[in-house]
Structure 1
Amino acid sequence: MFEFAWPWAFLLVPLPWLMRWLLPPAPSGEAALKVSFLSDLETLAGRRARANLPNWRQQAPFILLWLLLLLASARPEWIGEPLPVPATGRDLLVAVDVSGSMDYADMQWQGLDVSRLTLVKHLLGDFIEGRRGDRVGLILFGSQAYLQAPLTFDRATVRTWLDEALIGIAGKNTAIGDAIGLAVKRLRQRPAQSRVLVLVTDGASNGGEIEPLTAARLAAEEGVKIYPIGIGADPEQSTLAGFGFNPTLDLDETTLKAIAEQTGGEYFRARDQQELQSIEATLDRLEPVEQAHTQARPALALYPWPLASALLLSLLLAAREFWPHWQQQWLSRRPQWLRRRT
């Protein structure tokens, strides 16, 4: 079915004529002869003098150009037949810690030392891409928590936002409670059986306004199931251990386990790539939930065709306007012997 997305654009059809009627004429820049006795000449001739205005044939290309631009502005589109949209799945928010400690390079990815956030991007990105039929959203948290991507079926965009996350973008601290509170706020309007939060962090809560266990209690009341993932290598496996530094010292596993137990979820510990991949497999076993059936009609945008036609017509009109000038310049620059032959 053919239709216009913005049909009100056609209300601008008379705009050029209104501007010509309301605005004063532009100076032509050419010499003009002013006749003070024009009215006497009109009386003798028996008719009124008319301005030398272009006729309709001269105006037709410009009228066509204006109509083509309006046609493109109205966004014509071809609406296809209704297609079913996946109606089963979960509403799943992924909250990722982007505090300063997530920059520690104590993890391994394909034989290379990488930071914790880099490993999370690789593996959780695949996890997000595989959530067919689920609405997925993304929260980034540090000293504050921000909703980076709302719940959507567009998993590729959510993964892109995750890939573009930077260390310290939300502050250097870790506000676990604020991240849970923001997730509860976004999930509370969804069906109770499908509210899931995957919380990825490598430290203890040392920022924000809400205590993690208080936020977990609110999540339990709203039926939000939380799956915390504590990330970070063991001291003996870390490349930083040789410097006498334990990067997982701040990981508060006691609180994360309590959050999982209070909300009916499960706590996971990710020390390396293999463990994080096994956690993904465990999360895949979450049961989907029936939701309201929806349909979508694909729309094929057709505005490039009138827009391209308007551009081509503009180039032709410009070439017609400047062609005499270009021809004169070319003739004046020809060699003397060529001018004699012609």
Structure 2
Amino acid sequence: MGGDIQFANPEFFWLLLVLPVALFWYYLKRKKQSPTLRISSLKGFTTASVLSKLRPFIFVLRLLAITAVIVAMARPQTEDISTRTKTTKGIDIVMAIDVSSSMLARDLKPNRLSALKEVASDFIRKRPSDRIGLVVYAGESYTKTPITSDKSIVLNALEDITYGQLNDGTAIGMGLATSVNRLKESKAISKVIILLTDGVNNAGFIEPQTAADLALEYNIKTYTIGLGTNGNALSPVGYNADGSFRYGMRQVEIDEVLLQEIADATGGQYFRATDNEKLEAIYDEINKLEKTEIEEFKYYRYEEKFRPWVLLAGALLLLEWILRITVFRSFI
């Protein structure tokens, strides 16, 4: 931003070397500037007046005027920079989120679904130039939020995702197909699905391979994430009398072969998240892989500050001239 003074032609400051030369010349010539009279005695003459001692002040005014002119020639100015950005390559992203009961497992803290929502929120905030939508799936699937550039809507919708909104199960093919349906009409140069699950495909009437073929047909890249620790995890195994879940240790089963095939078929990648830190690292990696190109334009506005120096030089020269023809007239 503006405020700091800079000089457009600083090379003119070399002219300031003239000033010490002028001072030296004045020192050598000062006694020759007025006539001298040699007499044997100063009796009967008054001593020099104060005005005669102040006569060099005239020369100082001229040097100050020259200095002001040199500063003006160097063109002091302030610079104000305004920046505009233009997105040249937008990305449309649909996040397909598994909301089956197994997403309440506690191998991630506090559970898989809550950990995912926290990490996904950070991911969304880091994509200010892209449009993002949400699809949720369990035994079936639906669009939670169509692709939109309004991140507040997406974040609020993500926060509202809970277990129990759909019949239980894991319909990976349905979740992927619904995501493709949201993106197939998109005009964006790059279209991406981030599909997350913690299980195997066991519901729905669309096969995951069929949905992957649809994604490939519409040139939609799919990143797949398998969520869950290796081995056993504390997971819901039944219901208590009050309707709450009863937890027990269950084997973590993720169809990694299927998720890898979906990613490979569509040009994406498969990731495995076994804890909170790994899940966060995966979304950071996807964020780096899918970059939005932004063109930045800078506009410069200069405000010239040489005029006050020109006025100062003129005022000093005027003052010198007035003093020469008035106060110091009899000494010059």
The TM-score with structure 2 as length reference comes to 0.56
Residue 193 of structure 1, CA deviation? 3.7
Matched, 1:224 2:240: no
Counterpart position of 2:92: 91
Structure 1: runs of 5 or more not aligned = 1-82, 109-113, 292-342
Greater fraction strand: 2
**Percent sequence identity over aligned pairs:** 38
Q: TM-score of the superposition, structure 1-length normalised?
A: 0.55
Kindly name which structure, 1 or 2, has the bigger radius of gyration based on alpha carbons. Answer: 2
Q: In structure 1, the residue corresponding to 2:289 is in which secondary structure? A: coil
CA distance in 2, matches of 1:149, 1:244: 34
- In 2, distance between residues paired with 1:136 and 1:102? 22
1: distance between equivalents of 2:270 and 2:263? 6
1:26-37 counterparts in 2 under 5 A? none
Matched, 1:265 2:268: yes
Secondary structure of the corresponding residue to residue 204 of structure 1: coil
Moved more, 206-215 or 184-193: 184-193
1:97-141 CA distance string (max 9 Å, x none): 001111111213xxxxx1110100111111112111000000011
Aligned residue identity for 1:266: Q
The equivalent of 2:255 in structure 1 is 252
Higher relative contact order (CA closer than 8 Å, sequence separation 6+): 2
CA contact (8 A) 2:91 2:131 kept: yes
Query: Which SS does the other structure have where 1:107 is aligned?
Result: coil
Q: Secondary structure of 1:196's partner?
A: strand
Deviations 1:177-214 (A, max 9, x none): 11111111111122364110000110111111100011
**In 1, Cα distance between the equivalents of 2:101 and 2:248?**
19
Q: Deviations over 1:11-33 (max 9, x none)?
A: xxxxxxxxxxxxxxxxxxxxxxx
Gaps of 5+ in 2: 1-83, 236-246, 295-332
Q: How does 1:53-132 map to 2 (within 5 A)?
A: 86=87, 88-108=89-109, 114-132=110-128
Alpha-carbon spacing, 1:239–1:178, altered in 2? closer, same or farther (3 Å): closer
CA distance in 2, matches of 1:244, 1:143: 22
Contact 2:234 2:248 in 1 (8 A): no
The correspondence for 1:164, drawn from 141, 157, 160, is 160
Partner Cα distance (2:248, 2:131) in 1: 43
- Corresponding residue for 1:296? none
1:244, 1:142 → 2: CA distance? 21
What is the distance in 2 between the residues matched to 1:226 and 1:168?
Answer: 26
Which of 206, 211, 214 is the matching residue for 2:207? Answer: 211
Q: How many residues end up aligned between the 2 structures? A: 200
Judge conservation of contact 1:93–1:196 (CA < 8 Å) in 2. yes
Structure 1 position 290, deviation (Å): 6.9
| CA distance in 1: counterparts of 2:102 and 2:291, whole angstroms | 34
Q: Matched residues in 1 for 2:183 and 2:248: separation?
A: 42
Please give the alpha-carbon distance, in whole angstroms, between the structure 1 residues aligned to 2:293 and 2:229.
Answer: 39
- In 1, the alpha carbon distance for the partners of 2:120 and 2:290 equals 19
Where does residue 79 of structure 2 map in the other structure? Answer: none
Judging changes above 3 Å, is the alpha-carbon distance between structure 1 residues 107 and 88 closer, same or farther for their aligned structure 2 residues?
same
Rounded Cα–Cα distance in structure 1 between residues aligned with 2:279 and 2:206: 28
Give the conservation status (yes or no) of the 8 Å contact 1:104–1:247.
no
Amino acid at match of 2:269: E
